[in-house]
Amino acid sequence: MTQPLGKIATSSGHKPFGLIFWQLVICILVLGTLSAVRGKGLVFTRATLKFYVIVAVMGTLVPNATFYLSATRLPAGIMSMIISAVPMLAFPMALALRMERFSARRLLGLLLGLAAVGLIAAPGAVLPDPALAVFLPVALVGPLFYAMEATYVARNGTEGMDAVQAMLGASVVGLVICAPITLGSGQFFDPFAGFGRAEAALVGSSAIHALMYAGYVWLASRAGSVFAAQCSYIVTGAGIFWAMALLGERFPPFIWLAVVLLLSGVALVSPRGAAKSG
Please report which confidence band the pLDDT of residue 271 belongs to, taking 50, 70 and 90 as the band edges.
Answer: low
Q: What is the tens place of the pLDDT at every residue in 89-101?
A: 877 888 888 877 7
Please report which confidence band the pLDDT of residue 250 belongs to, taking 50, 70 and 90 as the band edges.
Answer: confident
Q: Is 142 a member of any domain?
A: yes
pLDDT of residue 177: 97
pLDDT of residue 274: 41
Rounded to an integer, the average pLDDT of 5-11 is 91
Closest by CA position to 223, among listed 119, 121, 87, 116 = 87
Is residue 20 scored above 70 in pLDDT?
yes
Residue 158 C-beta-side C-alpha neighbours within 13 Å: 25
Q: What is the DSSP letter of 72?
A: T
Q: Which pTM does this prediction carry?
A: 0.83
CA torsion sign, 76 to 131 to 138 to 257? positive
CA distances from 158 to 83, 170, 189, 191 (A): 23, 11, 33, 33
Q: What is the DSSP letter of 270?
A: S
pLDDT of residue 277: 40
Lowest mean pLDDT among 53-62, 84-93, 146-155: 84-93
Lowest mean pLDDT among 8-17, 221-230, 259-268, 269-278: 269-278
Q: Is 80 a member of any domain?
A: yes
Rounded to an integer, the average pLDDT of 143-151 is 88
Q: Is 276 a member of any domain?
A: no
State how far Cα 225 lies from the chain centre.
13
Q: Is 278 a member of any domain?
A: no
- Computed on alpha carbons and rounded to an integer, the radius of gyration of the chain in Å comes to 18
Per-state percent for the chain, helix, strand, coil, to nearest 5: 75, 0, 25
Contact 239, 84 (CB under 8 A): no
pLDDT of residue 21: 97
φ and ψ of 265, to 5 deg: -65, -45
Q: Is 277 a member of any domain?
A: no
Q: Is 213 a member of any domain?
A: yes
Q: What is the tens place of the pLDDT at every residue in 121-130?
A: 888 778 888 8
Closest by CA position to 80, among listed 198, 151, 1 = 1
Contact 163, 65 (CB under 8 A): no
**Measured distance CA(140)–CA(70) in Å, rounded:** 9
**Measured distance CA(197)–CA(190) in Å, rounded:** 14
Is residue 276 scored above 50 in pLDDT?
no
Q: What is the tens place of the pLDDT at every residue in 167-204?
A: 999 999 999 999 999 999 999 999 988 889 999 999 99
**Measured distance CA(210)–CA(27) in Å, rounded:** 5
Domain encompassing residue 236? 2-269
Q: Is 274 a member of any domain?
A: no
Closest by CA position to 227, among listed 274, 157, 275, 156 = 275
Q: Is 25 a member of any domain?
A: yes
**Measured distance CA(94)–CA(152) in Å, rounded:** 9
Determine how many CB atoms are found less than 10 A away from the CB of residue 44. 12
Q: What is the tens place of the pLDDT at every residue in 32-66?
A: 998 898 888 889 999 999 999 999 999 999 999 99
Rounded to an integer, the average pLDDT of 66-74 is 91
Q: Environment class of residue 179 by beta-carbon count within 10 Å: exposed (0-12), middle (13-18) or buried (19+)?
A: middle
Q: Which residue type does 105 have?
A: R
Is residue 212 scored above 80 in pLDDT?
yes
pLDDT of residue 230: 67
Total domains, the chain: 1
The residue with greater pLDDT, 123 or 243, is: 243
The pLDDT mean for the chain works out to 86
Q: Environment class of residue 181 by beta-carbon count within 10 Å: exposed (0-12), middle (13-18) or buried (19+)?
A: middle
